[in-house]
Structure 1
Amino acid sequence: MLLLGIDVGTSSIKVSVVDAQTQACLASAQHPEEESDILAPKAGWAEQSPEMWWEHAKAAILKVNATGRYNPDDIGAIGIAYQMHGLVVVNKEQQALRNAIIWCDSRAVEIGNQAFKAIGEERSLSRLLNSPGNFTASKLAWVKANEPELYDKIDKIMLPGDYVAMRLTGEVTTSVSALSEGVFWDFQENELSSDVLGYYKFDSGLIPAIHPVFSEHGSVQQHVADELGLKAGIPVTYKSGDQPNNALSLNVLQPGEVAATAGTSGVIYGVSDRLLYDPQSRVNTFAHVNYTDSRKRLGMLLCINGTGSLNRWMKNIAGPGIGYADMNGMAAAIPVGSNGLLVIPFGNGAERMLNNKIVGTHFHNIDLNLHSKAHLFRAGQEGIAFAFRYGLDIMRENGMNPNIIRAGHANLFLSECFTEAFVNATHVPVELYLNDGSVGAALGAGIGVKAFTSEKEAFTNSKRLRVVEPKATDQYEPAYQEWKALLEKHLNEA
């Protein structure tokens, strides 16, 4: 059996086809080749078109089929991973009523803060494991308050991956993991949160049918199959947010296991069997992909908005002819500490780990006679690594103390400079794997269709490339402490 995985990213849609027997990736493709735009109608807003995701997904599927490396008729299940916390709203005809309000949009921060106080901070944290914050429920409340005529037309709300699944199958489903990600789920009652629905005055009929993550979420419609060269009836058997899916793809499923990623955003994601929550809601806890009421598996998630987004910004201003590999090589030639140059990397909206403050990106100590592009690149990557350290210390306060972190050899972890800064700033070794979100989604589909006898069997051929140990913590610690003092100064001013 072959498995098709679709990763609905912020920058592009990537698809992979995996052989269930060997777990080998037979072919991959993405669309577009360049990074997709994020629309910002106002400062702090971030939107994308759901129809754009669907067009890109179709183009990527057609590209991967065109490789000729497999027979599309052998595809037996589809899995979908997606950018988390977005809001998509559709009418009864399953038409999107507006652009999606995506994960890094900050417009609903104050709405969530008001809900947190009204519901009660202790009650919210003990039941939702989070503040309503800037999550999907609060984004829907913003639509209700600011676009009431549009709100009245909504038949169902969903997350980005649910929309792509709906276009494939014509069906709309959700899961406990997805509902917890949107802060709609009461973990004490194990049901939709009456507190959130009641406070925001949402009709529960807006919520799709709740299915397990690993289960059938509909099957490919005939007209879609005809357009994409697939068989009709292929089931979608897995849907997950990108960070739980990244953890799945790294076989991070059991308590104490920890994953990291440094793409458009940066994340550390640790699994626990306890209902942990941060009293300040700086890190967040959601149901993991393998959560059940009898076997609690929670993912504690630290998110940093300004990671790959900063790296991309620096590449764009560096000028033509300089790519990420060039940047990484130039950064590696600069000494630790970037000759005093420090970068605060938070320039992509409100940061949850900074109590939803918008701090912005700042460059400190620029010496016009000394610092070059290479210094900027290294200081940027060190600043991102220091942000990970700052966030990991918050996770440590809340009982998550990793002795090793697994990460895919991708995005910023392709940079020796960043990887070295990450392990030395955090004081934690990193295991690097060949992994990919679309491959993880495909393996998730295999678990959902029972192509494997167990979750563990899906990763029997997982390839660890190497382990990177911290060897220069004494060189990084003074730079980190200076960086931290600057950050706290900005936080006091924000």
Structure 2
Amino acid sequence: MMLLGYDVGSSAIKAALLDPESGTVVASARSPSDTEMTMETPNPGWAEQPPSRWWRHIQNATDALHQTADRDLASVSAIGLTYQMHGLVLVDDTHEVLRPAIIWCDSRAVDIGRAAFEALGQEWCLQHLLNSPGNFTASKLAWVKRNEPEVYSRIHKAMLPGDYVALKLTGDVCTTPSGLSEGTLWDVTSDALATDLLDHYGLDPTLWPTVVPTFAEQGTLSRAAADTLGLSPGTPVTYRAGDQPNNAFSLNALEPGDMAATAGTSGVVYGVDDTPRYDEQSRVNTFLHVNHKPNTQPRYGTLMCVNGTGILNRWLHDNMGTEAPLSYDAMNEEAAEAPLGAEGLSVLPFGNGAERTLDNRSPGASIHGLNFNVHDRTHLLRASQEGIVFALRYGIDIMSEMGLPVETVRAAHANMFRSPVFRTAFATITGTTVELIRTDGAEGAARGAGLGADVFDTRRDAFEGLERISTVEPKSAQVDAYTDAYERWKSRLDHQLTHPLET
């Protein structure tokens, strides 16, 4: 018996094969293996991907598992999915995609969401949706109706990216309360679809799929999908969650006070609580967590996000080499060569669409304090890593104002948390203890599949084999220097936000 997890990101598709008896991953794969999927930007602030690209890379990642695993994938007993949040996929009545997916970092619907926030009222939106409609999924569909009426008229179902992948696997169209919550499509007071918001936008509520639990059978693998992937037809899909709730789940962050972080495509800190807290300006966002039960076990996840995390790191990777791209490991090593604070150099990592912590503004990425007589590549690499950390601290301060305790943070030993500069700066400037754990989103999805299929008797059993690699404590000797660097960074951000043409 094996469990299979897929992580449908915007940069890559990852797959993991988990042995539930040992709780360990026996094989994993990534597609594309040595590069990243592209995002199309037909207009400034837009970000799109064709869903067919995700399906193709799911096939590639599964093929790689077949080649590397010493187990027969026919023994997979359940499949779990995690996916990039806040996207919009539209299909017709034959389940053909009508237009490219509008993905998480797309900013085209910001003004539509802001107008809805004002029209419906801040108090109503925060109490019922826990957020401003912003540029979340509901607002993106409103944009389609207003700007592409011929597309809207042909929609049979609107769905999140994970819902579309599940459709490809099973042929069934369904979604989850947690998923709808991340699109501001779930009314937490009525525990049902947010029909008042849909009515405001003039959106047909029947366009949204049937709602199923996060941990449960959500369909079974069709013969066509099974033949394509080399799996057994009838295998159930038993777990589905957005990438950040799933990242928290992967780290066993499920109870009030638990805190998770990631620094991959986006930089995120995600706190779990049993109270539906919200920021009045909706600069950080609260959604239903994966284990939320409205009457018996309320669980909410409050998320702050920095869009420009992975794309900044990738831009440096692609452009800082003299003859060939620098490896990420080499970038981390060079960043450590520059002194703390990068001798006054600051990087604002806001070049990937509207940033929620900045009230959905798009100030762009920028470099400040550059001195040609002082700074070199090592300074820029360090200032970029510190800039992302400072942007995360900026959002954590908002979470603290909401009453969420930020003391211990769990993070996967992956992506930017592999950098000693990054993880030490994070622990020190936030004053947190960082627990680094060997896991990833695909592994978490596989564990979720096991819970949804009742393979595990208890939640404790589901996390057997989860390994803590190390603990990073704040460096007291560096607190003052990091505080000075952060205040300098924040002053430059404040100036850019108030004088956007003077950057």
Q: Does 1:410 align with 2:414?
A: yes
Q: 1:398 aligns with which of 398, 402, 406?
A: 402
Alignment-mate amino acid for residue 125 of structure 2: S
Q: Where does structure 1 lack aligned partners over 5 or more consecutive residues?
A: none
Give how far 1:177 is off.
Answer: 0.1
Report the Cα offset of residue 68 of structure 1: 3.8
The answer on whether the counterparts of 1:242 and 1:437 sit within 8 Å (CA) in structure 2 is yes
Q: Provide structure 2 residue ranges, at least 5 long, that are not aligned to the other structure.
A: none
Mapped partners of 1:6, 1:76: distance in 2: 14
Match of 2:473 among 469, 475, 484: 469
- Among 460, 463, 471, the alignment partner of 1:459 is 463
Distance of 2:242 and 2:325 partners within structure 1: 34
Alignment of 1:71-470 (within 5 A): 71-294=72-295, 295-319=297-321, 320-470=324-474
State the secondary structure of the residue aligned to 1:360. coil
**Is the 2:319–2:325 Cα contact (8 Å) retained in structure 1?**
no
Letter of the 1:317 counterpart:
N
Taking the aligned partners of 2:499 and 2:111, their CA distance within structure 1 comes to 18
Helix, strand or coil at the partner of 1:337? helix
1:22 aligns with 2:28: no
2:498 corresponds to? 492
Q: Whole-Å Cα distance in 2 between the matches of residues 23 and 423 of structure 1?
A: 29
Instruction: Work out whether 1:10 is the aligned partner of 2:10.
Output: yes
Aligned residue pair count: 494
Greater CA drift, 62-71 or 416-425: 62-71
Q: Which moved more, 1:135-144 or 1:415-424?
A: 415-424
Q: 1:21, 1:92 → 2: CA distance?
A: 42
State the shift of 1:229 in Å: 1.3
Structural RMSD (CA)? 0.8
Tell whether the 8 Å contact from 1:252 to 1:259 is kept in structure 2 after alignment. Answer: yes
1:456 Cα deviation (Å)?
2.6
Q: Stretches of 4+ moved more than 3 A in 1?
A: none
| Cα distance between partner residues in 2 of 1:154 and 1:413 | 41
Shift of 1:321: 4.2
Looking at structure 1, the residues matched to 25 and 36 of structure 2 have their Cα atoms a distance apart, in angstroms, of 23
Give the AA of the match of 1:414.
R
Shift of 1:461: 2.1
Cα separation, 2, equivalents of 1:67 and 1:206: 40
Amino acid paired to 1:486: R
Whole-angstrom distance in 2 between the partners of 1:321 and 1:96: 36
Query: What TM-score, normalized by structure 1, do the two folds share?
Result: 0.99
**Structure 1 residue 317, shift from structure 2 partner:** 1.0
Aligned to 1:482: 488
Deviations 1:16-52 (A, max 9, x none): 1001111110101111121010000000000001011
Q: 1:71 to 1:202 in 2, by over 3 A?
A: same
CA contact (8 A) 1:172 1:217 kept: no
Preserved CA contact (<8 Å) 2:46 2:107: yes
Residue aligned with 1:168, SS: helix
C-alpha contact (below 8 Å) 2:429/2:479 kept by paired residues: yes
Is 1:51–2:52 an aligned residue pair? yes
Q: Which amino acid aligns with 2:236?
A: P
- Partner-residue secondary structure (3-state), 1:233: coil
Deviations 1:132-190 (A, max 9, x none): 00000000000000000110110111111111111110011111100100101111111
Aligned mates of 1:194, 1:87 — CA distance in 2: 18
For 1:96, the aligned partner's letter is: V
Aligned mates of 2:357, 2:229 — CA distance in 1: 41
CA–CA separation in structure 1 for the residues paired with 2:434 and 2:497 = 29
What secondary structure sits across from 2:378 in the alignment? helix
Letter in 2 for 1:371: H
SS of structure 2 residue aligned to 1:106: coil
Distance 1:190 1:109 in 2: 26
Query: Quick check: 1:32–1:56 contact (8 Å CA) kept in 2?
Result: yes
Q: More displaced, 318-327 or 268-277? A: 318-327
CA deviation profile, 1:252-279 (whole Å, cap 9, x unmatched) = 0000000000001100000000011100
Match of 1:31 in 2: 31
Q: Hey, what's the Cα distance between the residues in 1 that align with 2:199 and 2:20?
A: 44
C-alpha distance in structure 2 between counterparts of 1:209 and 1:349, whole Å: 31
Query: What's the offset of the Cα at 1:408?
Result: 0.3
SS in 2 for 1:256: coil
Report the Cα distance in structure 2 between the residues aligned to 1:98 and 1:455, rounded to whole angstroms: 40
Q: Distance in 1 between matches of 2:67 and 2:325?
A: 30
Give SS of 1:444's match: helix
Give the aligned residue type for 2:496.
H
CA contact (8 A) 1:251 1:456 kept: no
Query: Quick one: distance in 2 between partners of 1:309 and 1:492?
Result: 25
Deviations 1:330-371 (A, max 9, x none): 001111010111111111100001000111111011111221
For the Cα contact (< 8 Å) 2:191–2:294, is it kept in 1? yes
Amino acid at match of 2:159: M
